[in-house]
Chain A
Amino acid sequence: MMRRLVWAIILICPLLLLCGCWDYTEIEILDFVLGAGLDQVEPDYLVVTEMIKTSGSAQEAQVETVVLTTHGRSLSSAARALSSPAGRDVFWSHAQVFLVSEEVARGGILSAIEYAVRSHHMRSTVAMFVTRDCTVEEVFKSKPPFNDTVSEHLGVLIDLHAVVSNFYPQQVWEFTSDLTAQGISGTLPTIQLVHEQGEKVPIVKGTAVFKKDRMVGWLDGEESALFSLLKGKFQRDHFVMETRTSEGSFPITYQIMGNKVDIKPVVKGERPRMNIKISLQLSVVEVGHGAKISFQNEQEVKNIEEQIAHTFNRRTKDLIEKLQLEYNSDILGFGQLLRRKEPDIWRRYSEDWDSFFPLLDVEVEVKCTIAFTGLSSQPIIVRD
């Protein structure tokens, strides 16, 4: 028994040495791609990547970024070609952002996302962006003031969406599912470069609107914030509004404390309509120009609430009109809602949604309450 056991162990041990570890790597020979982008598709793919370069001793490791550009006949071949200039095995699983230039977006985004969706190297949670008025390479070569890498900077901006909401974040899988679903079009947030203390700094602001797989136009920051609100995203956004009060007209800053959006298709007679109900809870953050407004005055508050509701109503209608008439792109997913709630009606229009969508009647109803006024409900009254 014992002898057999010993023999078994002696025979099994060399077997362990025979089996190869095909998946084995050493972590220090990997080059981590933090962000990638596609600048052009024709005549060949131009892939820009931001990679991490580690140096220094074991105790004082230093990290710097390297931006590499490679060409290839496909995205994957360009990505593979990276290994040669990088001199290491390129590791894609830590990529956080994927940028697409306006040119590529307008020419058809499928050429960019096919590899991102198919490859197991890139995660489906990678955040996607379209660069506006700049190339991907310029974005990656810009210098964010606080974060070490551009990709990290962009990742932080996405996390800050609730605070600065003038874009609508999209990950590869969300964008792809919008592209492939019926009755909804895709959007991607936009990256712009601004000048800050002599350096170019990338910011995320605005939205690129797609029609099928091609980009058709932009939404600016304010429109994007409203779009994000209509999409039901949690927001703590600030906005300034010129408000008429009993004391005159003043700019007052409000913060959204609670937002609830309910979009419902209503079928009356032949044609479906969309009914949008927005309810907002607001907090007064700052009252401009020394206005003496007391928020204990019920009449005053009601008046202000009505003004805000009216403004939101108008802006929502403007945005939808722009989407209907200018871009003819159903990025709010009215068609999808109709398909879910009224499948019979949808079947009638699904073939011809493109020509029906611009004619769709949309009703907007905004309810607005000022729930908080900060620490004081009284104005600061200066006396001698």
Chain B
Amino acid sequence: MFFWRRAKQKKPRGLTSVTASLDTNIDWFKQDIFANDDTIVYRRFRTGEPQSRACVLIFAEHMVKHEFLSEHIVRAMMQGPLPNGLHRDDLIDYITERIIHSDAVTVTGSFTKLAELITGGRGVLLIDGCDLGIAVDAQGWAKRQVAEPPSENVVRGPRQGFTEDLGGNVALVQRRITNPAFKTKFLTVGTQSNTKVAVLYVDSVASPALVEEVLDRIQKIDIDAVIDSGYIQELIQDSPYSPMPTIGHTERPDVVAGKILEGRVAVLVDGSPFALTMPYLFVEAFQSNEDYYNHWVTATFHRIVRYISFFITTSTPALYLALISYHPQLIPTNLVISIAASRQDVPFPGIVEVVAMGLVFEILREGGVRLPRPVGQAISIVGAIVLGDAAVSASLVSAPMIIVVGITAVAGFVISTLYDTAVLIRLLLVLTSSILGLYGYILGVMAIVIHLASMKSFGVPYLTSMTEFLGQNVKDAMVRVPWWRMTLRPRYLAAQDRKRLQSTAGSKDR
């Protein structure tokens, strides 16, 4: 059919704006803009008598709500007779004001703009004799239900998580901050994907310079497509060569709300359930949203557990290696004897054992994560039996090594955001301590601390509030002080409006 038409009709060339001829417009869409695209539907109909006019509704078949288009555009247009003598703007005004029942309508005469609106899931209405198109919001596609985010479980706290729908995600945050100071700015990123990106902040709290910086960095992105917020994260973060995260990500609207209320800026990307928050500091890896919902004593305890776990997961193999290879005198006598006994028949030096076991664990974990759940369980069973038992009986590794790998792995999962970073830190420390013992371990730690201290995230030093001993910043770092003591927002973020708790006088009574 197309071949026949193409041969017969002369293809109009170089059209940029809608013409008064309906057929020309349709042909332009069919043969140029949406050539070879079978998802685009052209619904032709006529308005009611006496002033009957030919119309066409163009939309992408699977991106719209069909009932809405049939009911509120096609049906409304067919029934409502158009008054005489209306031309162009008057006609468009009459239709948008009196006929179409829709809350969001865009009027434009540009073909490229209309095409974008159609691929974005809107219905475009063209009327014969009028060189403007009306785009009506009618997006409707398969959406995931709001559910508890699988990557961040809580025992106590809201159970809502972001989905892949940008508008819904923004609403989830907005519902928590019902205040005109809550601002959302939409940007479009990706020359091919035209992905919508939302920048969320609280106007009265966030520093304008920070908001400006975030918007500026996102606008400077020149990439063909943005599939997930991870793209944005990597393209705009500070210290991009460092494995340390300088932009946070979360699947939880309550976390985003909390962070932007402290003066941070959040970025949501259409199609991604992961919101980005910035600036992101080292201490945030050890904070959990549940810290703020639970009693402050237990929250502080759990936070300290997290710090200890981070130390364990990064340092245990390195310290074990340093002690057994360089400083056996530092191990208690009974323990050193039992370690020596268990290493009796192991053919490999300590460093080989540590690296190999660490690698095996990472392989098992990676396998378990990517596989479907039932198969993943099989992996963990195999891992537990092979590693825990068989390898020791076969004298391939020593029993204490299993304990070291086990405690390292378990502690690593406590701080899930830093898991991958911790693996790299662990490897670095294992290498340095295998060469220089405890001295090497200390040098490695110093190198890491120097690196952390040299980093910044959106102008805020990365180690802020971990290098202080007094002041408001410390109240939410190593400990979580009770809410009535956290009267001020962090200075490094919310410089313009620091007061979080109004009645500081009353707080002293409690």
| B336 pairs with A94, CB closer than 8 A | yes
The minimal Cβ–Cβ distance linking B475 to chain A, given in whole angstroms, is: 40
Q: A24-B325, A27-B324, A58-B399 are in contact. Are A52 and B346 (CB under 8 A)?
A: no
Chain A: how many interface residues by the 8 Å CB criterion? 26
Q: In the assembled complex, which residues on chain A have CB atoms less than 8 Å from the CB atom of B338?
A: 61, 63
| A91 pairs with B328, CB closer than 8 A | yes
| B333 pairs with A58, CB closer than 8 A | no
Select which of B326, B341, B345, B398 is within 8 A of A25 by beta carbon: B326
B412 adjacent to chain A (CB < 8 Å)? no
Select which of B340, B346, B395, B431 is within 8 A of A32 by beta carbon: B340
CA of A203 to CA of B455 in the docked complex: distance in angstroms? 63
The minimal Cβ–Cβ distance linking B406 to chain A, given in whole angstroms, is: 16
CA of A55 to CA of B341 in the docked complex: distance in angstroms? 6
Q: A58-B398, A91-B328 are in contact. Are A27 and B343 (CB under 8 A)?
A: yes
Q: In the assembled complex, which residues on chain B have CB atoms less than 8 Å from the CB atom of A25?
A: 325-326, 328
B392 adjacent to chain A (CB < 8 Å)? yes
A34 adjacent to chain B (CB < 8 Å)? yes
Q: Mark B354-368, 1 if CB is under 8 A from A, else 0.
A: 000000000000000
| A28 pairs with B337, CB closer than 8 A | no
B502 adjacent to chain A (CB < 8 Å)? no
The minimal Cβ–Cβ distance linking B248 to chain A, given in whole angstroms, is: 27
| B325 pairs with A58, CB closer than 8 A | no
Q: A23-B326, A23-B437 are in contact. Are A28 and B346 (CB under 8 A)?
A: yes
| A57 pairs with B395, CB closer than 8 A | yes
The minimal Cβ–Cβ distance linking B478 to chain A, given in whole angstroms, is: 35
Size band of the interface chain B makes with A? 20 to 34
B342 adjacent to chain A (CB < 8 Å)? yes
The minimal Cβ–Cβ distance linking B10 to chain A, given in whole angstroms, is: 54
Q: A24-B325, A32-B337, A52-B337 are in contact. Are A61 and B344 (CB under 8 A)?
A: yes
CA of A30 to CA of B340 in the docked complex: distance in angstroms? 8
CA of A91 to CA of B399 in the docked complex: distance in angstroms? 23
A311 adjacent to chain B (CB < 8 Å)? no
Q: A25-B325, A25-B328, A28-B344 are in contact. Are A59 and B333 (CB under 8 A)?
A: no
CB closest chain-B residue, reference A24: B325
CA of A16 to CA of B433 in the docked complex: distance in angstroms? 12
B350 adjacent to chain A (CB < 8 Å)? yes
CB closest chain-A residue, reference B332: A94
| A57 pairs with B437, CB closer than 8 A | no
CA of A26 to CA of B352 in the docked complex: distance in angstroms? 12
B339 adjacent to chain A (CB < 8 Å)? yes
Q: Mark A12-25, 1 if CB is under 8 A from B, else 0.
A: 00001001010111
A56 adjacent to chain B (CB < 8 Å)? yes
The minimal Cβ–Cβ distance linking B466 to chain A, given in whole angstroms, is: 28
B239 adjacent to chain A (CB < 8 Å)? no
CB closest chain-B residue, reference A16: B435
Q: In the assembled complex, which residues on chain A have CB atoms less than 8 Å from the CB atom of B345?
A: 57-58
| B326 pairs with A24, CB closer than 8 A | yes
| A54 pairs with B393, CB closer than 8 A | no
CA of A194 to CA of B201 in the docked complex: distance in angstroms? 83
| B328 pairs with A57, CB closer than 8 A | no
CA of A346 to CA of B106 in the docked complex: distance in angstroms? 107
Q: Which of A1-58 contact B (CB under 8 A)?
A: 16, 19, 21, 23-28, 30, 32, 34, 52, 54-58
A69 adjacent to chain B (CB < 8 Å)? no
CB closest chain-B residue, reference A58: B342
| B333 pairs with A26, CB closer than 8 A | no
| A28 pairs with B329, CB closer than 8 A | no
| A27 pairs with B346, CB closer than 8 A | no
A93 adjacent to chain B (CB < 8 Å)? yes
CB closest chain-B residue, reference A32: B337
Select which of B341, B435, B437 is within 8 A of A54 by beta carbon: B341
CA of A58 to CA of B393 in the docked complex: distance in angstroms? 7
A299 adjacent to chain B (CB < 8 Å)? no
Q: In the assembled complex, which residues on chain B have CB atoms less than 8 Å from the CB atom of A63?
A: 337-338, 341
CA of A19 to CA of B443 in the docked complex: distance in angstroms? 16
CA of A350 to CA of B329 in the docked complex: distance in angstroms? 42
Q: In the assembled complex, which residues on chain B have CB atoms less than 8 Å from the CB atom of A21?
A: 434-436
The minimal Cβ–Cβ distance linking B390 to chain A, given in whole angstroms, is: 11
Q: In the assembled complex, which residues on chain A have CB atoms less than 8 Å from the CB atom of B167?
A: none
CA of A25 to CA of B326 in the docked complex: distance in angstroms? 6
Q: In the assembled complex, which residues on chain B have CB atoms less than 8 Å from the CB atom of A34?
A: 333
Select which of B328, B341, B349, B431 is within 8 A of A61 by beta carbon: B341
CA of A34 to CA of B332 in the docked complex: distance in angstroms? 12
CB closest chain-B residue, reference A61: B341
A246 adjacent to chain B (CB < 8 Å)? no
Q: In the assembled complex, which residues on chain A have CB atoms less than 8 Å from the CB atom of B431?
A: 16
| B340 pairs with A28, CB closer than 8 A | yes
The minimal Cβ–Cβ distance linking B455 to chain A, given in whole angstroms, is: 17
Q: Which of A63-104 contact B (CB under 8 A)?
A: 63, 91, 93-94, 96
The minimal Cβ–Cβ distance linking B339 to chain A, given in whole angstroms, is: 6
CB closest chain-A residue, reference B436: A21
Q: Mark B115-143, 1 if CB is under 8 A from A, else 0.
A: 00000000000000000000000000000
CA of A63 to CA of B336 in the docked complex: distance in angstroms? 12
CB closest chain-B residue, reference A54: B341
A296 adjacent to chain B (CB < 8 Å)? no
A376 adjacent to chain B (CB < 8 Å)? no
Q: Mark B372-395, 1 if CB is under 8 A from A, else 0.
A: 000000000000000000001101
Q: In the assembled complex, which residues on chain A have CB atoms less than 8 Å from the CB atom of B344?
A: 28, 54-58, 61
The minimal Cβ–Cβ distance linking A149 to chain B, given in whole angstroms, is: 10
Q: In the assembled complex, which residues on chain B have CB atoms less than 8 Å from the CB atom of A297?
A: none
CB closest chain-B residue, reference A93: B329
Select which of B328, B333, B435, B436 is within 8 A of A27 by beta carbon: B328
The minimal Cβ–Cβ distance linking A16 to chain B, given in whole angstroms, is: 6
| B328 pairs with A30, CB closer than 8 A | yes
The minimal Cβ–Cβ distance linking A261 to chain B, given in whole angstroms, is: 34
A62 adjacent to chain B (CB < 8 Å)? yes
Q: In the assembled complex, which residues on chain A have CB atoms less than 8 Å from the CB atom of B339?
A: 27
Q: In the assembled complex, which residues on chain A have CB atoms less than 8 Å from the CB atom of B326?
A: 23-25
Q: In the assembled complex, which residues on chain B have CB atoms less than 8 Å from the CB atom of A27?
A: 324-325, 328, 336, 339-340, 343, 350
Q: In the assembled complex, which residues on chain B have CB atoms less than 8 Å from the CB atom of A28?
A: 340, 343-344, 346
Q: In the assembled complex, which residues on chain B have CB atoms less than 8 Å from the CB atom of A91?
A: 328-329
Q: In the assembled complex, which residues on chain A have CB atoms less than 8 Å from the CB atom of B398?
A: 58
| A54 pairs with B337, CB closer than 8 A | yes
| B333 pairs with A96, CB closer than 8 A | yes
CB closest chain-A residue, reference B402: A58
Q: A21-B435, A27-B328, A58-B392 are in contact. Are A94 and B333 (CB under 8 A)?
A: yes
| A26 pairs with B350, CB closer than 8 A | yes
CA of A26 to CA of B341 in the docked complex: distance in angstroms? 12
Can you name 9 A-B residue pairings with CB atoms under 8 Å?
Answer: A21-B434, A21-B435, A25-B325, A28-B343, A58-B343, A58-B345, A63-B338, A94-B333, A96-B333
Question: Beyond the given A27-B325, A30-B328, A93-B329, could you list 9 further A-B residue pairs with CB under 8 A, ordered by the A residue number?
Answer: A25-B326, A26-B349, A54-B337, A56-B344, A57-B344, A57-B345, A58-B346, A61-B344, A63-B338
Q: Give the B-binding residues of A (Cβ under 8 A).
A: 16, 19, 21, 23-28, 30, 32, 34, 52, 54-59, 61-63, 91, 93-94, 96
Give 6 nearest A-B pairs by CB, closest first.
A61-B341, A93-B329, A54-B341, A28-B343, A27-B324, A94-B333
